[in-house]
Amino acid sequence: MEGTTLKTWRLGKKLGSGACSDVYAVESVSSLGTDAGREFVMKLSPLPQLPAAKLKNKKRKKTPAERNVDALYAEHLLYKNHLRDQPGIPYVP
């Protein structure tokens, strides 16, 4: 996946992986330049495509992959909204 562009980020070298996701070095490709010179990493969790019929069923149980993605999003919100100004906490753009 190295070299793939996701919105305003270009994936670099794969740094590691765990049970739920992979971690990549990334660089900003945004024209704003506010993140120039900063190093970032991105945690990616795969989410398989589900048939439309399953997506419409509101009572269905989420797959393990969907639960992992939800947990990753909750982690992002925690860093972005509550921990961002604490010492030792990484910057989340």
Q: Are 16 and 23 in contact (CB under 8 A)?
A: yes
Write down the architecture of domain 5-81 according to CATH: 2-Layer Sandwich (3.30)
Residues in contact with 74: Cβ distance below 8 Å, sequence separation at least 6, in sequence order: none
Strand partners, 26: 11, 40
Q: What is the pLDDT of residues 8-56, one digit of tens each?
A: 889 999 999 988 789 999 988 876 666 666 778 888 887 777 777 777 7
First to last CA, the chain: 22
Rounded average pLDDT over 69-77: 87
Q: Has residue 76 got a pLDDT over 80?
A: yes
